[in-house]
Amino acid sequence: MTQSLLSTEGYIVIAYLIAIFGIGIWGGRKTHTFRDYFSTSGGLGIIVLIGTVLATQWGGVTLLGIVGFGYQHLWFGAWYSLGAVIRFLFWAFLMAAVLRKVNPFSISEWFGMRFDAKNALVMTVLNLIVSLGLLGGQFLAFGTVVSVFFDVPIRSAVIIGALMVTIYTVIGGMWGVAYTDVVQIIVTTLSAVGMVLYLWVTEGGFGTLRTQAVYPENYFNAMNVTPLGDLSMGWLFLFTLIFLWLADLFLNHNMQRMVSAKNLKVAYWAPVFGGMGYVLIAYVSPAIGAYARSVLGAGLQNPDRAFPLLAQELLPAYLAGLVAAALLAVVMSSGDSYLLGPSTLAANDLYRAFNPQASEERVLLVSRLITLVYAGITLYSALFFDTIIGLILTYLTIGWAVIPALGASVAWRRATPNASFWSMVAGGGVNALLMLNYSYGWVPSINAMFPDMPSYYVGWIGFALASVILIAGSYVEGEDSVPTNVRQPVAADGGREVDDIEARADAALKQVQY
């Protein structure tokens, strides 16, 4: 049952939102230049960086979407979360050291110096498109939480959430975002873990839950995830989700965190602890979903509402208020990052491209204006989606085709600019068309091949195409097409491997004129 905002829960939530707003504005006092606004100029220590890395990822998906998945099928939620663990390892093992050392301004700048300008431009455009879905998902999640707890219409709640996140992000920049993220992740963790322990004590452990009739057949079966339709294999879902999670690594908010690290150690350990957080989530969120099914029954129309409804059903008002605040915290802490990342990218890569003489102050001002406009566009698109995960997965499937180029940018010296460019364009384009076809049925025969398959599984097709184009294209073009700064490491650091020296010797021989 919904409450008035003028209730115990309402007062707690309002006080919390005011506090977060204040912290965000306070964090903004350190923002003097565009680089401060964008990445704190490399000033984040281990605690703050872990906080902001975790808080960004623990968005509406984690405590609303995955709980909703867990409500439908326990392993639907668990495998989903474990996919994120591997995503953080990819970041820590392969990307953190390279990108912190090079210290590019943005993901586009990285692609621009590793490949060429057209790759940078594709990266900017893809960031603007994909972040739209992620940010919209957070706005929608904010509305979902508020409308479950309070008698506020969901559309109004979405607009209130969007306004709050936008204002403190515009003023606070990356410093404001980072500080609020730390507070939000503490509140969130305590609430989610506390909720599970509370349920464990009051409702019994899983030994008790498994005996109840409310769970459908195969609910506890890890290898048969019934809601997945034709492709119910748990292992396939896990590997699909690993790639879907990897699909958001090219987004600029990740780069902002990599270059915001004080040093290489911090840059490495923040994503490792991020992965550890998702090991915890792999238990916490599905467990809450399972308890929600036990307490609330099987008739929830929108599973995303399982956690807030459960809190409202079981907890006293002041604790339910804290849970409401925590749920809003995860949503806001992701929303601010998804907003800041693409809007600063647009200011740097698009505005600066056409106004190279613009001063730092001017770019900072334009960046703030772009943040406002981007939030407005996203808010408009968010009002047309019903479920949080549906919105996010649609956009991430496009990003799936960027994974080969992203991995190659840090780890494969032979990757050429043209091969990288066409792998992203062709793979992303195919995935976008397949996803749109799924929604609009332009070519029904394609959809008829897997009538009951989750739509995002089509991402494998664009990913495979992108991988083939990248590898085959790079070999066909040959090593001479690799930019010189990548092909010929400077001898100052002594090189790394015998293979590199041989490659350099080969390249040098090719340049000899007989």
Site for other proteins in 353-372 (CB under 8 A): 353, 356-357
Identity of the residue, 101 or 513, whose beta carbon is nearer to other proteins in the bound complex: 101
| Residue 119 CB, nearest approach to other proteins (Å) | 9
Q: Which stretch binds other proteins (CB under 8 A): 105-113, 317-325, 375-383, 443-451?
A: 105-113
Main-chain phi, psi angles of 44, to 5 degrees: -90, 130
For residue 92, state whether it binds other proteins (rule: CB under 8 A). yes
Alpha helices (H) along 95-222: 96-102, 107-114, 117-149, 154-203, 206-209
Per the CB < 8 A criterion, the answer to whether 47 and 332 are in contact is: no
Q: Can you tell me which of 19, 25, 97, 160 binds other proteins, judged by CB under 8 A?
A: 97
Q: Can you tell me which of 46, 102, 461, 507 binds other proteins, judged by CB under 8 A?
A: 102
Q: Which stretch binds other proteins (CB under 8 A): 180-188, 331-339, 422-430, 478-486?
A: 478-486
Query: Site residues for other proteins, window 265-324 (CB under 8 A)?
Result: 265, 268-269, 272-273, 275-276, 279-280, 282-283, 286-287, 290
Identity of the residue, 82 or 141, whose beta carbon is nearer to other proteins in the bound complex: 82
Tally: H helices and E strands in the chain: 25, 0
Q: Can you tell me which of 238, 327, 339, 401 binds other proteins, judged by CB under 8 A?
A: 238
Query: Site residues for other proteins, window 196-225 (CB under 8 A)?
Result: 196-197, 200, 205-207, 220, 222-223
Q: Can you tell me which of 33, 216, 235, 441 binds other proteins, judged by CB under 8 A?
A: 235
For residue 116, state whether it binds other proteins (rule: CB under 8 A). yes
Q: Which stretch binds other proteins (CB under 8 A): 53-61, 142-150, 258-266, 365-373?
A: 258-266
Please spell the DSSP secondary structure of 293-344, one letter per residue.
HHHH-S--S-GGGHHHHHHHHHS-HHHHHHHHHHHHHHHHHHHHHHHHHHHH
Alpha helices (H) along 383-458: 388-399, 403-411, 417-440, 444-449
Nearest-angstrom CA–CA distance, 20 and 26? 10
Nearest-angstrom CA–CA distance, 94 and 404? 13
The torsion region of residue 204 among left (phi > 0), alpha (psi -120 to 50) and beta comes to left
Q: Judging by beta carbons within 10 Å of its beta carbon (0-12, 13-18, 19+), is residue 34 exposed, middle or buried?
A: buried
Query: Site residues for other proteins, window 180-199 (CB under 8 A)?
Result: 196-197
Compose the 395-414 pattern: x for residues touching other proteins by CB under 8 A, - for all others.
Answer: ---------------xx-x-
Element (H, E) at 507: helix 498-511
